[in-house]
Amino acid sequence: MVFTYGWDTGPVTQEIDLSALEVPASPDEFDVDPPFDPAEGALPAERFLDRELSWLAFNERVLELAQDSSLPLLERVRFLSIVGSNLDEFFMVRVAGLKRRIAAGVAVPSASGLNPRDVLARSLTQSHALMTAQSHTFADDIVPALHEAGIELVHWDDLTGQEQEQLGAEYRERIFPVLTPLAVDPAHPFPYISGLSLNLAAVIRNPTTGKEHFARVKVPPIIDRWMEVAPGRRVPVEQVIAAHLGLLFPGMEVVAHHTFRVTRNEDLEVEEDDAENLLKALEKELLRRRFGPPVRLEVEETIDEEVLELLVTELGVSADEVFRLRGPLDLRSLGEVADIDRPELRYEPFVPGTHEHLAEVETASPADMFRALRRRDVLVHHPYDSFATSVQRFIEQAAADPHVLAIKQTLYRTSGDSPIIDSLVDAARAGKQVLVLVEIKARFDEQANIRWARKLERAGCHVVYGLVGLKTHCKLALVIRDEPDGLRRYAHLGTGNYNPKTARLYEDLGLLTSHPDITSDLLELFNSLSGFSQQDGYRQLLVAPHGVRDGLIERIDAEIAHHRAGRDAAIRFKVNSLVDEGIIDKLYEASRAGVPVDLVIRGICSLRPGVPGLSENIRVRSVLGRFLEHSRVYWFAGGGEPQAWIGSADLMHRNLDRRVEVLVRVPTEQHVGELGDLLVRMSDDDSTSWHLDADGAWRRHVGEFHVQDELVERARRRRRSGNPS
């Protein structure tokens, strides 16, 4: 799912007690006293943190940003919206998966030692505490702060008579015609409640018979959630609908009404044997997704017990899947509030510039990308370096250049009005050979990717869907160009999607290169993805599912050997998630050997740092800020000859075993040094970040600087001075 992130950090002002978010104590809680004795041989069974609980802890960190009064107010509102979106996905995918495993009798304990029932129980407890804290943050902190800033989020009863009359007229004109009341009686069964929809449960009385009935009214999702009654004054649309329920049930008495929301299992399970069957199966599964079993019921805390009992019975949810919350429900909608045109309540605007080595070849016309890449490799760092004037321009020039013979590219996610898709279409129509590997199983983007695939096919592109049983997650583009000295290949290998919109919000890295070994490797890889091949060895690439885990373990072993030989040895990784037990155990081995290990992990971490005798040489940091940290970097000191690898692969089972992932060795010594310095800066004790303790708790550390602020200011100085260096 694609979320809009807009982050920055600063001192925390925390008014809500989040102690309830800690994982409940249990007999198998990890004990670091006495320390692990490596002489005894076997590693301790409790050395892994649970991935689901670690994911919830990540959202606790996002909530802390929403509670931070030093941040711009509308950015805090957006963080609160992000927490809601993330929790929706957690229930649709992770909680639903746990329930499937339990129902199927697959009760094998996870690496953390918890069985699925324990993980589910703890996840529900922790997420309930998190959602409660989120709702209180909104009501007690955000709403008063918005009011003080001139943005009022009010209740229907707070409106003046004139305002109510105004909204009543708008309701009759725009909302009433699209509402469909659904009654429940012997002739009308309980209606299907779609996932993530906002609903009103109404209790209606017949004044003649005195009999009460239940009815459901769905809040139309195409209508703005927060209706503006006056500049800076908004009311939730469900309250406007509730105030006019009598129009939907003429002649009846409205006894009560309550808001509720259901979350369903919306993960997809598709088996495929060929491309066309895969498309049809996926389209069918997308229809089925709407009817997945419920995994969460959200209700307002004031709901009548009789109405709640009816919802619980008809939906088939358990008591611990019911979340009674202080309204309003569905705080994802706060994204509408965050978009209010009040620039003084947001981060100072930042416009990325052209990378210095591409700016060198800019004249009155756009930069000649091929000329630039013949001179040197270019390592772009988004959003500090413009995506539009680097990666997007690379594809656009390739499509328009008459000397380009072929373009080969992977697409995992892209924007709704993608200029990259348009460029590939133009290239195919111009007679170029265009191969596009579309990953139509990219979660929550399946429908959009099916649409892109059809459009590309109609334009004459060769569209393939990768290897059976594997998602293709790597971000690659290869261009073959006819030049005076023969064919030359140019490439882009990135850590993020080919999406111009998220490239302004996500931190990512990309290598633009004409390096012969890298481009040759890519040619062979694309041939294996579109044809038949048993190749799993490359010169400058590590390719999953066969090569990434083994390649990283081999390099960790090399660092251990360097350290024992007295040479420079260090390991620095930056990833979104660290879950894979094989990699974690190898990092423990490196720590026990004395190799310093610094890990910058945005989200999930199953490794326990700082455990005496096991991981005392490992530090784990999490950096959250204005931009979503998304790049993956693997840096090794190499005995004095450092090397760095970048790519799209996180250290998770799905990335290493069930996806086509690519890590590329960065060939330029200067770039390797820059990446190493970046990771040092992000791990610095003077940098604002969260620190992970051995017990699994994250502590926020407010330092003297924030890495993202430094990079933004550096980019601004370059633009102001006109000097790219």
> Which of 244, 381, 382, 473 is flagged as catalytic?
473
What are the helix and strand counts (H, E) for the chain? Answer: 22, 27
DSSP string, 554-600: HHHHHHHHHHHTTS---EEEEES-B--HHHHHHHHHHHHHT--EEEE
Classify the C-alpha dihedral 366-371-375-381 as positive or negative.
positive
Nearest to 542 by CA among 469, 644, 394, 631: 644
Phi, psi dihedrals of residue 433, rounded to the nearest 5°: -75, 120
Beta bridge partners of 462: 435
- Give kind and range of the element (H or E) at residue 644: strand 643-647
3-state helix, strand, coil in the chain (%, to 5): 40, 20, 40
Active site residue 213: no
The amino acid sitting at 41 is G
The two tokens of residue 83 are 């927490």
Q: How far is CA 495 from CA 376, 498, 508, 670, in A?
A: 20, 10, 6, 19
State the virtual CA torsion across 228, 234, 239, 241 in degrees, nearest 10.
Answer: 0
The two tokens of residue 376 are 């040197």
Asked whether the beta carbons of 196 and 296 are under 8 A apart, the reply is no
Grouping H, G, I as helix, E, B as strand and the rest as coil, residue 433 is strand
Question: Which bin fits 431, alpha (ψ -120 to 50), beta or left (φ > 0)?
Answer: left
DSSP string, 325-373: ESSPP-GGGHHHHHTSS-GGGSPPP---B--HHHHTT-SSS---HHHHH
Alpha carbons 611 and 645: distance in angstroms, whole number: 28
Q: How far is CA 348 from CA 70, 664, 707, in A?
A: 14, 35, 16
Residue 249: CA count within 13 A, CB half-sphere? 27
Q: How far is CA 310 from CA 214, 276, 313, 316, in A?
A: 9, 43, 5, 10
Beta bridge partners of 435: 408, 462
User: Inter-axis angle of helices 707-721 and 669-683, to 10 degrees?
Assistant: 130
Asked whether the beta carbons of 590 and 571 are under 8 A apart, the reply is yes
| Contacts for 207-210: CB closer than 8 Å, 24+ residues apart | 207/251, 207/252, 207/253
Question: Which bin fits 228, alpha (ψ -120 to 50), beta or left (φ > 0)?
Answer: beta
Grouping H, G, I as helix, E, B as strand and the rest as coil, residue 226 is strand
Beta bridge partners of 254: 204
- Please give the span between the terminal C-alpha atoms of the chain, in angstroms, as a whole number: 36
Alpha carbons 11 and 430: distance in angstroms, whole number: 55
Grouping H, G, I as helix, E, B as strand and the rest as coil, residue 48 is strand
Mark 705-714 as b/e (b = at least 16 C-beta within 10 Å): ebbbeebbee
Q: Give the catalytic positions in this structure.
A: 473
